[in-house]
Amino acid sequence: LANIYMALVHYPVYNKNREVIASALTTIDLHDLSRLAATYNLAGLYVVTPLEDQLRVAQEMIDHWCHGWGKAYNRNRSEALSLVRLARSIRHTRAEITETCGLAPILIGTSASTVLNRATYEQVSALTDGKTPVLLLLGTAWGLTTESLAECDYNLEPIYGPTAYNHLSVRSAAGIILDRLFGRR
């Protein structure tokens, strides 16, 4: 999937009081989401945060597993983490993908709550035409802000099971979303 990207957004996101914060990275997110990106053959996984110390933590982790002792120890992790790219904002991420692909990415927002301009999984998979890049935005903490979701070209319909409860971890949500969009039946 030459032009499908995923971004794990740490700012701007909501906290439980619906204030806009910059959430801290969790290394399990990077491991899990990079392995998902490798499994579904994504072009890259962007880790988005403006915080210098968080960017350093992520870079140190990538260096360890991709270049350091970790690479010899576990090549599977190294292969997955080599898909991780760091960016200070969603705007920077879009600009870098535009630079790489020569076309601006279609922005797809995700959220557990129903949002405006919702798109079904069928509509979003139809967008992956192999030319125009697609960037899936995943939030952390209590989710992406209304402003970020409003800037998306589409917002993927929330994942629901048979009940009203649908507050998934970003790792579980990403797995379900990618398999619904790109998984082999």
Q: Compute how many other C-beta atoms are within 10 angstroms of the C-beta atom of residue 111.
A: 24
Q: Give 21's strand partners.
A: 13
Contact 30, 20 (CB under 8 A): no
70 versus 158: smaller Cβ distance to ligand SAM:
158
CB of 63 to ligand SAM, least distance (A): 27
DSSP state of 104: P
Q: Is 27 in the site for ligand SAM (CB under 6 A)?
A: no
CA distance 125 to 25: 29
Of positions 84, 108, 138, 178, contacts ligand SAM by CB under 6 A: 138
Which of 25, 173, 178, 181 forms a contact with ligand SAM (CB under 6 A)?
173
How many helical (H) and strand (E) elements, i.e. helices and strands, does the chain have? Answer: 8, 9
**Contact range with ligand SAM by CB under 6 A, out of 67-75, 77-85, 106-114, 146-154:** 106-114
Footprint of ligand SAM (CB under 6 A): 110-113, 138-140, 142-144, 158-159, 166-170, 173
